[in-house]
Amino acid sequence: MLEFTYLILLIFLCYLTGSIPTSIIVGRMKKGIDIREYGSGNAGGTNVFRIMGWKPALVVIVVDVFKGWLPVAFFAPLFINLQSIPDLGVIQILCGFSSVIGHTYTIFSGFKGGKGVATLAGMLIALYPTVFPFCVSVAILTTILTGYMSLASILASASLPIFLLILPPFIGLDAAPLSLLVFSLLIPWFITFTHRSNIQRIRSGEENRFDKAMIFRKK
């Protein structure tokens, strides 16, 4: 019973870590605004970039990535012996995703946070860093071709389980753990869910584009 209590406390600690509303804090400190009242209304790095520029956005993205990395790389190994699940990989996934949930539904700002992409990226860096550059490449290519950051996030998350399956044999790495493979199949559904309003705007032609990123666009 005590070990189960420690597990709940660990998950809650990771949730609180993810709940730190980075973009909202930066918006209030930098311009005295609630970033959720501007642009797309999303409390994430992309909206900060649109409204406040690349420097505040970079701060937000780095911190949000760190929020996903810290529970997986530090909290899970540190407290592995205090709770009831012996599999470190499973604990890392629980800790990391608790942080992602905290970022998306932050307790400090009315459970209205970001889309979870940057925090998931931090989680992936800690779990299986070799795959991360390939997913980023998919996101960059999608942004260049379409200008839609939301679509880039969805396609990058959808590419994760594919890369986890096909890359290790080609680059001489151990296969990804089964727990990570199963979790990777759930990530695209989560990212699609958090971007459902963006999908509706893309379909209606109302979604904002990053036109400057579309380097092959005819002027």
Dihedral, CA atoms, 88, 89, 92, 93, nearest 10 degrees? Answer: -150
The band of 176, judged by pLDDT with boundaries at 50, 70 and 90, is confident
Torsion of CA 13, 19, 194, 114, to 10 degrees: -150
pLDDT at 218 over 70: no
Amino acid sitting at position 91: I
pLDDT, position 219: 57
- Side-chain-side CA neighbours of residue 14 (13 Å): 31
Residue 103 is predicted with a pLDDT of 96
Structure tokens given for 89: 């990989």
- Top-confidence range, 43-57, 93-107, 200-214: 93-107
Whether the pLDDT of residue 172 is over 80: the answer is no
Residue 20 near residue 59, CB atoms below 8 Å: no
Quick one: pLDDT band at residue 173, thresholds 50, 70, 90? confident
Q: What is the pLDDT of residues 9-37, one digit of tens each?
A: 999 999 999 999 999 999 999 889 989 99
* Structure confidence by residue, pLDDT tens digits, 87-123: 899 999 999 999 999 999 999 988 989 999 999 999 9
Mean pLDDT, all residues of the chain:
91
CA distance 36 to 218: 33
- Tell me: the pLDDT tens digits for 55-68? 999 999 999 999 99
